[in-house]
Amino acid sequence: HFTHLASMAVERYRYDAERERRATHDTLTGLANRVALQIFASNLALDSGRAGLPHSLAILDLDHFKLHNDTLGQRASDRLLAGAAQRLQQQRCGGELRARFGGDQFVVVMTGDPDQARTRIEEGLRAFAEPIDLGDARVVLSISAGVVAWQPSTASLDDALFQAIAAVEVAK
């Protein structure tokens, strides 16, 4: 009887963990999603040890993604997004969190000032110079980035995102 109860408890734990992962991660890329980004930002603002540290927030926007989608099709574009996310994960860019923000945009939250963050982002984006192999096509991605200073204890995530989106538009 005890073995059966233990087995049920383990199965329930696995089910809950999978359910939480699905709620907080993008199914296509495996990166954190907006829900996880919001949770991370809230926890960061409440963490007295880290909330006072300077942070930077970067938005990375895949240039010409609509053109890739229109010419290669949605399946290839999905593989392109997944490949971009994989490279972002591998490079880490010094980030504490990498998330798919939506469509063809990604967010990276980093400890440090914007100049340090820009340098780390530039170093991380070098990995995108190599083409992503989609099977029947190889695509080199161009990425525009907007990096802004963010003090989680005094500025909202939405304010930082708004500023970073504006910085991306300037970069384009």
In degrees and rounded to multiples of 5, residue 31 shows phi and psi of -75, 165
Could you tell me the CA-to-CA distances from 79 to 24, 107, 111, 138 in Å, in that order? 20, 19, 30, 11
Q: Which of 61, 70, 104, 158 is catalytic?
A: 104
Give ∠ CA 28-30-32 in degrees, rounded to 5: 115
**d(C-alpha 144, C-alpha 122), whole Å:** 10
Strands 132-133 and 143-150: unpaired
Answer yes or no: 104 catalytic.
yes
Would you say 78 and 130 are in contact if contact means Cβ atoms under 8 Å apart?
A: no
DSSP 131: P
Sheet with 55-62, edge to edge strand ranges = 95-102, 105-111, 55-62, 143-150
Question: What is the dihedral angle through the alpha carbons of 70, 76, 82, 86, rounded to the nearest 10 degrees?
Answer: -110
Active site residues: 104
